[in-house]
Amino acid sequence: MRVVIQRVLNASVSVDQKEVSRIGKGLLILLGVDIADAEDDLLWLVQKISGLRIFSDHDDKMNLSIRDIDGEVLVVSQFTLFGATKKGNRPSFIRAAKPDKGEKDYLKFVDELQRLIEKPIQTGVFG
């Protein structure tokens, strides 16, 4: 799995110019699933993200997690995180999981993260 994690004051996802999800202060997570990802990889990543101390405390030190600030989370599937451009001019997505595995792991990721942070998670539209 590959993720891009961005601290945000707010974020939203729109499809065909229609907003499908919105959050306030928290994390925007772009998630790509690899063809070789196993459940252990997913569970490790969810555990890591839920405990990442990347929000500032009262002393302006990055010392608080998403749970500590009672923040919101938006997870968006992003297979292009596996785009390989080493050869040629056209990206190869050979390492990206096929849609059935990608969606299954994406939904499992969302469920597990929601369980750990004990708060509903907003999502984009898979695909």
Active site residues: 80
Looking only at the bridges linking them, the beta strands covering 11-15 and 18-23 are antiparallel
Distance CA 67, CA 119 (A): 9
CB of 75 closer than 8 Å to CB of 121: yes
Counting DSSP H helices and E strands in the chain, the numbers are: 2, 8
Distance CA 123, CA 52 (A): 20
Distance CA 7, CA 21 (A): 16
